[in-house]
Amino acid sequence: MCEGEITKIIFQDDLFVDESALSKIKEVFDCNETSWCFNGFSHTKDGKNYFRTMIPKWTDMVLEGRNLLGNPSGVSFLTEKFVGFDENLVLLMDTDFYHRMRYQNGMPSIIEDCLTSNREHEDRTSSSGVNYNGKIDHPSGGWMVNIEELEYALEKNKDTRDYPDEK
């Protein structure tokens, strides 16, 4: 429902940690031919102390949940390029979105500066209400998944597994 040229997602429990965050994001869109971008992020439990600062990185198996990009609070995009979130997904809602955004819009730009912080708490989606009933093994380390969600996401995206920008 956003109407501006650029949409910056920020979840209700996350926060900006750089007072010039919005200016830095706008600059990326002004200076690059990009449709979307990720910003660096940290984690916090109390909104005052920050740890585990990360620079987002695109990896293989994003659709399957190998997420080194962070949560959607680190994403900005040209509003007209928004592909929507799939309301049938919980755990993979972000990686499914990232996969579809890349398929439609190409590789995202990366802002290495830490602009947002993800709040860690017991009620966050990834730690409550998700039935982790499977594991994916990867040479860089495995991760837990919900098998039904994974099968749904893979079937839904079966015709978009190869990104046009890789051809």
> pLDDT tens across 117-144, in order?
999 867 656 555 789 999 999 999 999 9
The Cα diameter of the chain in Å comes to 45
The alpha carbon dihedral of 146, 151, 153, 154 has a sign of positive
- The structural domains of the chain, with segments of one domain joined by +, span 6-121
Q: What does the block give as tokens for 22?
A: 């919005």
Nearest to 79 by CA among 163, 9, 164, 165: 9
CA 148 remoteness from chain centre: 21
Per residue in 53-76, pLDDT (tens digit) is 999 999 999 999 999 999 999 999
Per residue in 4-55, pLDDT (tens digit) is 999 999 998 999 999 999 999 999 999 989 999 999 999 999 999 999 999 9
CB of 110 closer than 8 Å to CB of 56: yes
Q: Cα separation of 32 and 103, whole Å?
A: 19
